[in-house]
Structure 1
Amino acid sequence: MDISFALVAARGPMSAILARLMPMIAAAFLVVQTPAHACVLCLPYPQETNADQVIGSGTAVFAGENPVKPFSYVVQETFKGHYDGSAIPLFLDSMTGRALRLNPTLRVILVQNHPGGIWTGLGLAGSEYQGVMRQLADWYADSKTPAERAIFFAPYLRHEDRRLAELAFLEVGRAPYATLRNLKTNVGRDDIYRIVNDFFHVEWHGLYILMLGTSDRPDDVAFVRAKLKTAAKYRLTTNLAAYATALIEMTGADGVTRLAEEYFVKSGRSNGELLEIVKALSVQGTGGAVELQPSIIDAYGRLLAVHPELAGYVANDLFAWKVTRFVPRLREILNTGIGLDEASRFAVAAYLSRSDEGGSSKGGLAPPDDLR
């Protein structure tokens, strides 16, 4: 998104506010981001994967236990870069050593950032995991988009090697939602339900809930509705965004309307709940069911009417979608400043600065004839 725009002509108190905020507006887009990727729905936190480590390394090897020096490593294969033959100063713990002895096909993945640099152990790898690592050795930083990486790893999501399945989950879980909608995987419906009903894998639920959302089976739709009903009743936020995204995928504009009525209109909802619904709407409107943008924009209008303090969280979408119908409301919210934190003020000011405040619509939001 290009935010290197000029300040509109100075005019009245609104322009005074903008003039004060403009030096910091660009930062707002780094702080108050509405999510376009599935990672915010699937993963509770960003995580560097073993794939990242191998791709970013200078040297990567498969190692086993040194038969003449217990608790130390010996390199058995160099699959990336050049290994100079020097001793690797890492301790091989007894549990890893036992696993290597019990299964001769296992190897430990070790990476070195540059010649003579620090070595890092990435854990055990079975035969197929090793094959995946060899393929990654030919990749380099940014050579694959998140979507391409997700497509590569998707077939391993339910692999019998738990370590490989976990790597696949982390890679697929941070792909754009548009990719997930069309992703063909070997994950069966029974497997999806087994995961989403497993309390001990709650951090995995988001991705599989989104997969379930691509179903049009009545019992699957009923399952998602029931989960959302429970979440609304007990004011739960865990995986709320994922279930909301799935409902919209399954039921379209009706789902958007139901979520807005339940969360944006009814009183007593926490900001945590509201923001989870905003995440779902933003993901669908940006990278999913973009044909639902009019319904999502209407839902945002209901949010702004009741919860002005959350204006900053929808301003970026309104900006990106060239929506100007909320200019008066957002100007009012910014002028009063009620409940807005600094990042939200910046985001709202940035949105307003692209409106036709200065009498010119060049490079700005849609002119009045295109109000939505």
Structure 2
Amino acid sequence: MDISFASIAARGPTSAVLAWLMPMIAAAFLVVATPAHACVLCLPYPQMTNADQVIGSDTAVFARENPAKPFSYVVLETFKGRYDGSAIPLFLDSTTARTLRLNPTVQVVLVQNRPGGIWKALGLAAGEYQGVMRQVADWHAGSKTPAERTIFFAPYLRHEDRSLAELAFLEVGRAPYATLRDLKTNVGRDNIYRTVNDIFHVEWHGLYILMLGMSDRPDDIAFVRGKLKTAAKYGLTTNLAAYATALIEMTGADGVTQLAEEYFVEPGRSNGELLEIVKALSVQGTGGAAELRGSIVNAYGGLLAVHPELAGYVANDLLAWKVARFVPRLREILNAGGGLDEASHFALAVYLSSADEGGSFQGGLTSSGGLR
């Protein structure tokens, strides 16, 4: 029997079986289908870092150009697994070969996925980068938590070796926000401003803005407020989510209220601007200070009142936080259907199917604490 999203919303409380099944169906479907807004810092890079490649490899070596056979590799050190001595069927390009000739201590990191398997070059490694790779080679999948990896790599964020700094950026940049909140003692304030003001590292700004948000200095707060004032005046979205997250971290519920009044209360803001603010609220509501969640939920209420077409972007948070007071409003929005895409329809249907007649959520559906 087909069950439409509209029929789920219209009938009110669903059967116990359906209410139990829908979140599990969603677990598989929502990964790709629902509006995603959890990442304040969405890195335009591959998901796997060089550290991941080494951890997942069977064999990892340092190599240079074979003097007896130009543009091919000779292994100098095996730092993970066992190298069988066979020729490595990779071509050493002329640019890399030239760099190696000019820098005798630099080597190339090569990994093999399994004995007799495919070799892959991960790039150049100077002295300290080599040391980091040796340490990472002792890890195995799951042996380090995201927080532990972040703490390990954070000191290298401003390293003079750009390759090592980039690796650290990728590792730290994908850390949970709750972990980033603990990094204020690891990254110096001068380094943060140096990066935020560096026009040649624009893609790095978001991470450092989040770190700046850990400051309670009045001049830092004024800097963030100034950036947000400019963004609001001209409708800018670049790093808007990061600056909004920083403001909330610095000023708490007052920052949430300021952002909601600036963006949610009055119509006229673009969806791009609104979604950047929603990202910030979502991240703070999930990984920020627990006492902020009430203010964030109130801000979501303002968004739903003026911008119902964005309801799908907050439904997942409301479900995870077990916030039931918006059941009537979200059912009304779903029944009206105006401006909702298919993913938003599904997100609202899952939220409503998880709520019982009394406007609360059934036990066991989420892991976060209740907030009515």
Normalising by structure 2, we get a TM-score of 0.89
The residue aligned with 2:89 is 89
Partner AA of 2:41 in structure 1: L
8 Å contact kept, 2:322–2:360: no
| 2:260 is the alignment partner of 1:247 | no
Q: How does 1:116-135 map to 2 (within 5 A)?
A: 116-135=116-135
How big is the alpha-carbon RMSD for the aligned residues of Structure 1 and Structure 2?
2.6
8 Å contact kept, 2:13–2:355: no
Q: CA deviation at 1:334?
A: 1.0
| 2:20 is the alignment partner of 1:32 | no
The residue aligned with 1:280 is 280
Instruction: Rate the CA distance shift 1:165–1:133 in 2: closer, same or farther, 3 A.
Output: same
Aligned with 2:357: secondary structure?
helix
Aligned with 2:124: secondary structure?
strand
**Within 1, Cα distance between the matches of 2:29 and 2:196?**
35
Which has the larger displacement, 156-165 or 16-25?
16-25
The residue aligned with 2:64 is 64
**Within 1, Cα distance between the matches of 2:274 and 2:37?**
14
Aligned with 2:120: secondary structure?
strand
8 Å contact kept, 2:9–2:331: no
Aligned with 1:238: secondary structure?
coil
Which has the larger displacement, 195-204 or 293-302?
195-204
Q: How does 1:22-171 map to 2 (within 5 A)?
A: 22=22, 25-30=26-31, 31-32=33-34, 35=37, 39-41=39-41, 43-171=43-171
The residue aligned with 1:224 is 224
Partner AA of 1:173 in structure 2: G
Partner AA of 2:173 in structure 1: G
Partner AA of 2:354 in structure 1: R
Structure 2: gaps of 5 or more residues: 1-7
The residue aligned with 2:194 is 194
**Within 1, Cα distance between the matches of 2:360 and 2:187?**
52
**Within 1, Cα distance between the matches of 2:41 and 2:180?**
12
Q: Percent identity?
A: 79
The residue aligned with 1:296 is 296
The residue aligned with 2:238 is 238
8 Å contact kept, 1:355–1:364: no
Partner AA of 1:29 in structure 2: L
Q: Give a deviation string over 1:248-285, Cα, whole Å, max 9, x none.
A: 00111111011111111122211111111111001111
8 Å contact kept, 1:325–1:371: no
Give the number of aligned pairs. Answer: 358
Q: CA deviation at 1:99?
A: 1.8
Instruction: Rate the CA distance shift 1:74–1:141 in 2: closer, same or farther, 3 A.
Output: same
**Within 2, Cα distance between the matches of 1:46 and 1:240?**
23
**Within 1, Cα distance between the matches of 2:9 and 2:160?**
65
Instruction: Rate the CA distance shift 1:360–1:91 in 2: closer, same or farther, 3 A.
Output: closer
Instruction: Rate the CA distance shift 1:16–1:291 in 2: closer, same or farther, 3 A.
Output: closer
Aligned with 1:266: secondary structure?
coil
Q: CA deviation at 1:188?
A: 2.1
The residue aligned with 2:266 is 266
**Within 2, Cα distance between the matches of 1:24 and 1:365?**
12
Q: CA deviation at 1:43?
A: 2.1
